[in-house]
Copies of this chain bind each other. A is one copy, B any other.
Amino acid sequence: MEEELYVVGKRVPRTDSIYKVTGAAEYTADIKLPNMLIAKVLRSPYPHAKIVNIDISKAKRVPGVKAVITGKDGYGVKWGVFKYTQDHMMLPIDKVRYVGEDIAACAAIDEETAQEAIELIKVDYEPLEPVFDPEEAMKDGAPLIHEGYPRNINIHVHIEVGDVDKAFKEAHYVREDKFRAQGEAYAMLEPYACVAYYKNGYLDLWMPNAGPHVRAKALSNLLKIPLNRIRVRHVFIGGAFGGRSEVAPADFIVSLLSIKTERPVKLVMSREENAISSRQVHDVVARIKTGVKKDGTIVARDYEVIYDGGAYSSTGPIAASVPFYVYEECYRMANVRYHGYRVYTNKGIRGMYGCHGRAFLAGCEAQLDLIAKELGLDPIEIRLKNGLRAGEETATGSKIISCGLQETIEEATKKVDFKNKWKKATRLKGVGMGCVAIMCGFPMGFRSGSSCSVKFNDDGQATIITAIVDNGQGNESMAIQIASEVLGIPMEDINIINADTEATSLDPGAYSQAATFVGANAVKRACEDARRQIAEIAREKLSCEIKDIVIKERMVFSRKNPENKIPISWIVREAFLRGKPIIGVGSYFPNIDLKREWVSKPFGQMAGSFSYGTSVAELTVDENTGKIKVHKFIAAHDCGRPINPMAVEGQLEGGIMQAGIAAIMEGNIWHNGFLMNPDLLEYKIPTAKDMPDIETVLVTTMDPEGPFGAKEGGLTIRMSAYSAIASAFYNATGRLFKELPLTPDKVLELLQTEEG
């Protein structure tokens, strides 16, 4: 099959698009169930306060109110992704830790009644001193947010390779800078919502989420319900970007309300609620020290990165280290020291993000340009010199099995005549670039692998059953496209049952970039298993060898006698008659080191493979207004072999918008623990008019492990787009940024400083 592909690699409309553009797609908020109750949550007005008393008596008396709950109705379980991060009681009993934290909730016959009841709940607080800045929070004497976490350090990741101090001593040139990035909103178009229906001892759930199996397991623990009595169902999802990977307090609250009432309960957050009480993006402070040889070889690196974790652990260990990993997967690092601190503050909980760690990555890359200039090199040269290649290992011990980094650098820069433009940068007009790698899947214990099964119906159409999740990336469509290629039937002949925890086996979910590399590999193997069964019967009927069997456009034939075709439906029925229906099963587990642990042992194979990307931006800076205008953006991405180039391009364009343009626009604004821009009126996200001219380049490396040579599609651009902006800003102004986003006020301030 390798020699000719019929479907994979083709530009095909995504199977989900039609529903989204016609409005037919149903999101969680659209779900209506008979007798459904509406939930509302009472949220903390204090960033840090002791809960003295909660009086729900008045709320309970409101006609139409069916249940009112507080932390006392929970089961005393604290949530955490890892055992050592269990710090989050979904309805707190002792104290509140951020403005917007869930305190109490009710379920009523309609929204107005629920709102009325919520307003009648009386909470007595004893305000405590809050702390909002992570560097302040780390100081001795700062208010302690959680017991047992001195200096509010939630997670400390320490990685050290080589002899860093010695290397710095031997370096030709050393440079140290400090960068900051404001927190951001995920700004998913769909505010968070959850529907729960507890009936007959079973809990059914719908919510936008990246990993239904992970969600079900968490709720099983939190609600003390056996795992096979919880079913998280598939639903259309309006964006996740890393922020919907974990169980949310809303899930717990709505479930508990449904358990109490035995009626379906729905909670739909307002835009403001979504901003203050669902996940936020970490603020980051990065101290970056780099030492180089005269020829541009980087010999020493010392990093200290502080991540503002907000009130609870969330995916802390991952958040505290991933920015480093995606960088070490890109560049050779013989001597490197990394201290990553995730710190508690009295702000909303921070989660993973598709462009997480911005101050660190953009800081590293912009600093690299300055170093290159210092050495008389250009950004391309220094990156090509230090970039990893296939066959090499990362500093923490991951082997690179395919790598298109060099090609992405060359292709992306060629498109804008980068070398010349960089040299001739006129004042206030510049080009810049950023590179990064990203792991395709990472260790999640027994959740690292995926399985799929596929069955045929008697008309020769197939259904694949997989827990691949589609958060908007087109993962469903991708899985169907791969199945179509292997099974030789058109995409419209393939149905997918996905992500429903009852029907599917474990899968990492749309998390850790595993959907294509892990999930779709399982889909491919299941379909290959089914195809083998089909070929076995066809071989007999066609009197040919298995290797000559071709299945294409619903017909089976031998490539040696293509005139003699058998419909696949015929083969499928024959299999039924033989008592061995065509049912394929396939599993894939990536080649990762399962002993690798985020904090205690950050060494070993991190992922089955890594994808690469280079972002290039061209921009001008208005010295009067401080406004940056991005004119052109090139995204060159090595995603192995793209399954659906059109879908990958869509991901790249989304990344440019969410990271590249956000880098000059988006940022959370806080005042005394209150988020000042919680809605889309105050929080500006890029729209079509802000978008630059975009060119995308898909560098095809055939990954030896990925399905049809594919790796994850798109995240490297989301991760490197900030860097391209920071780099171009340096090229245009001679200044390194100090804090992202590069909004006009910050730009004007920087223009007052000295160059370099």
Contacts and interface: CB of A to CB of B under 8 A. Distances in A.
Contacts of A585: 453, 583, 585
A594 interface: yes
Contact of A446 (B220, B445, B495, B576): B576
A447 B579 CA distance: 9
A449 B577 CA distance: 8
Interface in A212-256: 213, 217, 220, 226-228
A217 B459 CA distance: 9
Contacts of A458: 213, 217, 227, 446-447, 506
A391 interface: no
A505 interface: yes
A587 interface: yes
Given A446-B577, A451-B581, A495-B228, A457 B589 contact: no
A463 B502 contact: yes
Interface in A456-506: 456-459, 461-463, 465, 492-495, 497, 501-506
A139 to B, nearest CB: 42
B457 A24 contact: no
A227 B459 contact: yes
Contact of A502 (B451, B495, B577): B495
A148 interface: no
B581 A19 contact: no
A503 B503 contact: yes
- Output the residue of A34, A453, A581, A585 with the most chain B CB within 10 A: A581
Nearest to A452: B583
A578 B493 CA distance: 32
B453 A583 contact: yes
Contacts of A505: 455-456, 581, 583
Contact of A576 (B24, B447, B462, B580): B447
Contact of A449 (B227, B457, B576): B576
Contact of A19 (B200, B457, B495, B587): B200
A465 B497 CA distance: 13
- Output the residue of A24, A506, A579, A587 with the most chain B CB within 10 A: A579
A32 interface: yes
Interface in A495-533: 495, 497, 501-506
Interface residues of A, number: 52
Nearest to A526: B583
A501 B457 contact: yes
Contact of A578 (B217, B462, B576, B589): B589
A748 to B, nearest CB: 51
A203 to B, nearest CB: 13
A79 interface: no
A433 to B, nearest CB: 38
B576 A220 contact: no
A25 to B, nearest CB: 9
A497 B502 contact: yes
Contacts of A579: 449, 587-589
A493 B228 contact: yes
A424 interface: no
Nearest to A582: B505
Interface string A700-724: 0000000000000000000000000
A453 B451 contact: no
A585 B581 CA distance: 10
Contacts of A501: 457
Interface in A159-195: none
- Output the residue of A220, A457, A495, A578 with the most chain B CB within 10 A: A457
Complex A-B, nearest 10 residue pairs according to Cβ-Cβ distance, in ascending order: A579-B589, A446-B576, A228-B461, A32-B34, A227-B459, A451-B581, A449-B579, A446-B577, A446-B573, A455-B505
Given A227-B459, A447-B458, 6 more contacts: A18-B200, A226-B459, A228-B494, A446-B576, A449-B579, A451-B583
Interface of A: 18-19, 24, 32, 34, 199-200, 213, 217, 220, 226-228, 445-447, 449, 451, 453, 455-459, 461-463, 465, 492-495, 497, 501-506, 573, 576-581, 583, 585, 587-589, 594
